[in-house]
Structure 1
Amino acid sequence: MPPPSFSDFQTVWCVQAVAALRVAERIEAGTTRIEALAEGVDERALHSVLGHLVGEGIFEEPSPGEFALNDAARELLLGIGGRFTLAWSTMETYVRTGRPGYAHVFGRGFWADLDAHPEIAAEFDDLIGPGGHPTPDPDFELADGWDDVRTVVDVGGGTGTMLRELLRARPGLRGTLVDLPGTISRAEGDFERVAQSFFDPLPAGADLYLLRSVLNDWPDMETEALLANVAHAAAPAGRVVIIGGVAPDEASPAFQIEMLLLGGRTDALSTFRDRAERAGLTVVGTSHQADGKFVVECRPRDVVAGAINVQDV
């Protein structure tokens, strides 16, 4: 792959500048003339930046000095896209500290920001669901098969995209979706809905608990608290399946935007085994889905010690 050109960086930093100045929001609110948009900044400099972006297909200039939004500007600079765009400016904070700098830009952490802006939260739910990702693959292996699995709890499952596919693929299953109230209100599917934080006590006694694209959203302390909570709900004999947030030991570390937004982590499997043990779980199997996603299966530690031969699938 060829390296990016200097002009690529030029566009990126022009986008960053207008994002920081909230130019798109001001245009959307009716301020469209460069003289007004440049209040508090250098007019000629801002005009040149916007002119460059117009040439790149971001913004329109219907008449000299008059600017308008187009689809590209809306996607990059408003709503959840704008949050992501401006969040990249916090990269240095993340690299220096290992912690997200999102609150320094938006005044509150990412989840609190979504809670304060339901319309952006709805965009985010769509982005991580059917609007921004292909239909999830419900096919993954279990160490001792699916025959005894009758009930599944999708913990932090968003609007239920994965749970719907699981129930469609295995019609005998009964499903429960756990997520925050705003997200649950947008869920669609034939399953029970539990509107709560997954750090609160979870529905207990299900055969399978699924954590898909959840652990990678949280730092160490929260990850272990969540695992302990799931272990408690899964006892005495439930299965816990993790997809996302754990990688094979031989995999190279990969940067994901969740790290920047939330301080999330992806553990190597050996690290995760120790983390799981502290939470009361033991890894009993690993596999890969057809698209390459790494799957880790755990069982409550006491059950494993007495009944299961621990080995990779």
Structure 2
Amino acid sequence: MPHSDELLWGALGDISRFAALLTMAELGLADHLAHGPLDTSELAVRAGANAPALRRVLRELASMGLVRTAGPGAYDLTEKGTALRSDAPDSVRSSIRMLGEESFWYAIGMLPATVRDGSSAFVKRYGHVYDHLAKNPASSRLFNDYMTARAAALTEGLAKRYAFPPTATMVDVAGGKGHILATVLHANPQMRGILFDLEHVADHARRTLAAESLAERSEVVAGDFFAEVPAGSDVYLLASVLHNWDDEDCVKILRNVRKAMNPDGRVLILEAVLPDDEEPHLGKDIDMRMLAIFNGGTERSRDEFAALLSQADLALTEVVELGSGASLIEARPR
């Protein structure tokens, strides 16, 4: 267990290291270094940066193992740093850029103010996050890329570790661009899928499913899950949905799902499930961002999920660990 001083000073250093990481992502340094080492001056020209300032950031990045010196004044990309390349299979570049996006960075910095009065400083300045993103296309693209990258590992775990009913129809509620639904349908060739989301998301989803050769096994339905969801299906997936809302709104969503589902259907919730102990957990880190950005949005424990489900006449039946801090919660009619 680290000494308290080490823990506290380490946290302070994390802010500086993230700032250097954000600079690397924003300036595309990994892409510029992808084909070999460059002199700092040349790298600055390619990245549109000030060379002396860039040199100082590279020194910090080298201490983090993301770049290494390759001769006087020159740097090369390390294997660890390749994760910052835009074309890396598991690239984290968009995720870092999203967390450093101006409004999100503001929200984290204003967390003390949010905690003082219980109301998100982000919402006060920018409005609801999805309304803000809809008005800011560049930020919206970053957010979508971030969510796609975040979902990739979770989706693979979902398809491999959960036994879907072989011939079921699954409704992916607030399914976004359709990457999760596509992965599940590819892994279960007899299943059919319905992606349900807001109208402005629907066209993206149709393009994704068509590109995945799944148009004949799927459909996209536009609507509002606070009003209703498509009825008569066997499986309803809520992936990273409930943590955006307070308990009252979550119960409304779950009741609409319960009303729509087949009598022997099931609800699947893909979220972080917070442990009851004091050990570190990725969900606890994410919960700080939820607190900063949403009014009422929160990560929850198993017991808290069970309580929400009970209010919608559903019973929690299983929790499957998927890795990367996420779990799959299965619920069925009571």
Instruction: Please report the TM-score for the alignment, with normalisation by the length of structure 2.
Output: 0.63
What is the identity, as a one-letter code, of the residue corresponding to 1:174? R
2:162 aligned with 1:141 = yes
User: Is this contact kept in 2: 1:217–1:259, CA < 8 A?
Assistant: no
Question: 2:112 maps to what in 1?
Answer: 92
Aligned partner of 2:291 among 259, 262, 265: 259
Give secondary structure in 1 for the equivalent of 2:204. coil
User: Is this contact kept in 2: 1:80–1:123, CA < 8 A?
Assistant: no
Question: 2:241 maps to what in 1?
Answer: 214
Equivalences for residues 1-313 of structure 1 within 5 A:
3=7, 4=10, 9=15, 55-56=56-57, 81-106=101-126, 108-130=127-149, 133-134=152-153, 136-137=155-156, 138-141=159-162, 146-147=165-166, 149-187=167-205, 188-189=208-209, 190=214, 191-250=218-277, 252=279, 254-256=284-286, 257-262=289-294, 263-289=296-322, 293-301=326-334
* Structure 1, gaps ≥5 residues long: 16-50, 58-70, 302-313
Distance 2:102 2:96 in 1: 5
Distance 2:170 2:176 in 1: 15
Give secondary structure in 2 for the equivalent of 1:289. strand
Deviation string for 1:180-223 (max 9, x for gaps)? 22222222012211122222210011110011111122222221
What is the identity, as a one-letter code, of the residue corresponding to 1:258? M
What is the identity, as a one-letter code, of the residue corresponding to 2:248? M
What is the identity, as a one-letter code, of the residue corresponding to 1:212? A
Distance 2:191 2:95 in 1: 38
Please report how far the alpha carbon of residue 227 of structure 1 lies from its aligned counterpart in structure 2 after TM superposition. 1.3
Deviation string for 1:244-274 (max 9, x for gaps)? 0534545757131233212422221122212
Please report how far the alpha carbon of residue 52 of structure 1 lies from its aligned counterpart in structure 2 after TM superposition. 6.4
Deviation string for 1:146-179 (max 9, x for gaps)? 24x4200111121111111000000101011112
User: Is this contact kept in 2: 1:159–1:183, CA < 8 A?
Assistant: yes
What is the identity, as a one-letter code, of the residue corresponding to 1:56? V
Deviation string for 1:14-51 (max 9, x for gaps)? 99xxxxxxxxxxxxxxxxxxxxxxxxxxxxxxxxxxx8
Give secondary structure in 2 for the equivalent of 1:172. coil
Distance 1:290 1:260, change over 3 A: closer
* Structure 2, gaps ≥5 residues long: 22-51, 59-85, 87-93
Question: 1:45 maps to what in 2?
Answer: none
Give secondary structure in 1 for the equivalent of 2:231. coil
User: Is this contact kept in 2: 1:241–1:298, CA < 8 A?
Assistant: yes
Give secondary structure in 1 for the equivalent of 2:201. helix
Give secondary structure in 1 for the equivalent of 2:148. coil
User: Which range moved further: 281-290 or 194-203?
Assistant: 281-290
Instruction: Please report the TM-score for the alignment, with normalisation by the length of structure 1.
Output: 0.67
Give secondary structure in 1 for the equivalent of 2:233. coil
Give secondary structure in 1 for the equivalent of 2:304. helix
Question: 2:91 maps to what in 1?
Answer: none
Give secondary structure in 2 for the equivalent of 1:56. helix
Give secondary structure in 2 for the equivalent of 1:111. helix
User: Is this contact kept in 1: 2:99–2:105, CA < 8 A?
Assistant: no
User: Is this contact kept in 2: 1:202–1:229, CA < 8 A?
Assistant: yes
RMSD of aligned Cα (Å): 3.7
Distance 1:292 1:12, change over 3 A: closer
User: Is this contact kept in 1: 2:272–2:325, CA < 8 A?
Assistant: no
Please report how far the alpha carbon of residue 226 of structure 1 lies from its aligned counterpart in structure 2 after TM superposition. 1.3
Distance 2:277 2:98 in 1: 39
Give secondary structure in 2 for the equivalent of 1:284. strand
Please report how far the alpha carbon of residue 298 of structure 1 lies from its aligned counterpart in structure 2 after TM superposition. 0.7
Query: How many positions carry a matched residue from both structures?
Result: 252
Distance 2:141 2:223 in 1: 17
Distance 1:180 1:80, change over 3 A: farther
